[in-house]
Amino acid sequence: MFEENCKGIIGALPDAPYDAVLLTSAQNRFYATGFHSSAGVALISAHRAVFATDFRYFEDAGSKIKGFELVMTSADRTYTDIINEFCRAEGVETLAFEAESMSYAQYCAYAEKLSARLVPEDGLLARLRHCKRPFELERIEAAQRIAEGAFQKILDYIKPGVRERDIAAELDYQMRLGGATACSFDTIVVSGENGSLCHGVPGDRVVRDGDFVTMDFGALWGGYCSDMTRTVAVGHVSDEQRKVYDTVLRAQEAGLAAAHAGVIGAQLHRAAADVIEKAGYGAYFGHSLGHSLGIDVHDGLGAQPTNPNPLPEGVVVTIEPGIYIPGKFGVRIEDFVVLTKDGCRNFTRAPKELLIL
């Protein structure tokens, strides 16, 4: 599985403006090796791949990583020593580092001691990670099934008098019970007038009869994230609430219908935004339609209004329009899909019709 990712990096290096890559971020190390650790570096040239870590992870790495030579650090053999050995053996003169994740202090420490010249990586890993392989899609889908299992259970938990933070904690707990290794991100639960806070933090506000409750959450499984949002009503809804919910649902359906490999990110956003604007709520939809999803919950460009690029086949992107009316309520509905030549495949099975609990 993950050997395919490493081979993809190796195959791209002959055309890169550097001789090898140094991966220090946990996300890119995992992408290349399939191994989680808080410490380690991956070194990849056009001919060789080395993974170095310390005593804590070395045995586990040896049983799980394939396609890499494994090296253990010690007091007499630091990461810097190992990198220099690799560069000398491979004739590496320019070594690419992850400019977006490496701190300035870490860069300076390496640059002072390495024989090769450090140059910023040109987005190679982001490009490779953007399009998902079949095994990655399987993991993303498994994460989503866990999240949806938790969603079905939380519906019986939501009632007047329950705090937002209690709903969030129960969602997290149910995802863990369902097999998640973690949450994809900090779970969002907002109710009533707090619903206008797109990324509001769950607090002590209690759910009341007539509230909308918006829940944005995801499970992490096998190193990959899911992400979904559902808005449910408690007790009853007003005519305005129903109109807003129906508008968001129609906008989401328009976004799903427009999703296919090759669609321009900004045009995909526009497909949903037009529906909201025509309904008179354009001022209340201020975020992008969606983002890419994978090892990170925001894993590259997606359906942003500022993205002029076509989205290739294999990209996983969220479709999540919303309307947020300050002082009143908010509604967001989110699925995520993988783009195909003929359209898209939706990973989200949870119902979207308005649920009144």
Residues in the chain: 357
Q: What does the domain layout of the chain look like in residue ranges? A: 2-128, 131-346
272-to-33, 258, 317, 353, 354 alpha-carbon distances in Å: 38, 9, 14, 17, 19
In the chain, count H helices and then E strands: 10, 17
What pLDDT is attached to residue 287? 97
What is the spatial distance between Cα 355 and Cα 357, in angstroms, rounded to a whole number?
6
DSSP line for 197-255: -TTPPP-SPBP-TT-EEEEEE-EEETTEE--EEEEEESS---HHHHHHHHHHHHHHHHH
DSSP line for 245-260: HHHHHHHHHHHHHH--
User: DSSP alpha helices (H): ranges in the chain?
Assistant: 2-12, 26-33, 55-64, 79-90, 104-113, 124-130, 134-154, 164-177, 239-258, 265-278
| CB proximity list for 16: less than 8 A, separation 6 or greater | 96, 122, 124
CATH topology of domain 2-128: Creatine Amidinohydrolase; Chain A, domain 1 (3.40.350)
31-41 per-position pLDDT tens digit: 999 999 999 99
Dihedral (Cα; 289, 293, 298, 304), 10-degree rounding: -30
DSSP classification of residue 303: B
What is the spatial distance between Cα 65 and Cα 23, in angstroms, rounded to a whole number?
15
The sign of the torsion formed by the CA atoms of 26, 77, 75, 96 equals negative
What pLDDT is attached to residue 132? 97
What pLDDT is attached to residue 18? 97
Q: Do domains 2-128 and 131-346 have the same CATH topology?
A: no
- How many alpha carbons fall within 13 Å on the CB side of residue 68? 33
Spell out, as residue ranges, where the chain has pLDDT lower than 70.
Answer: none
Is 201:160 a contact under the CB 8 Å cutoff? no
What pLDDT is attached to residue 280? 98
Q: How many CB atoms are closer than 10 A to CB 13?
A: 17
Q: What homologous superfamily is domain 131-346 in, according to CATH?
A: Creatinase/methionine aminopeptidase superfamily (3.90.230.10)
What is the spatial distance between Cα 139 and Cα 335, in angstroms, rounded to a whole number?
16
β partners of residue 96: 21, 119
Q: β-pairing, 212-217 with 188-191? A: antiparallel
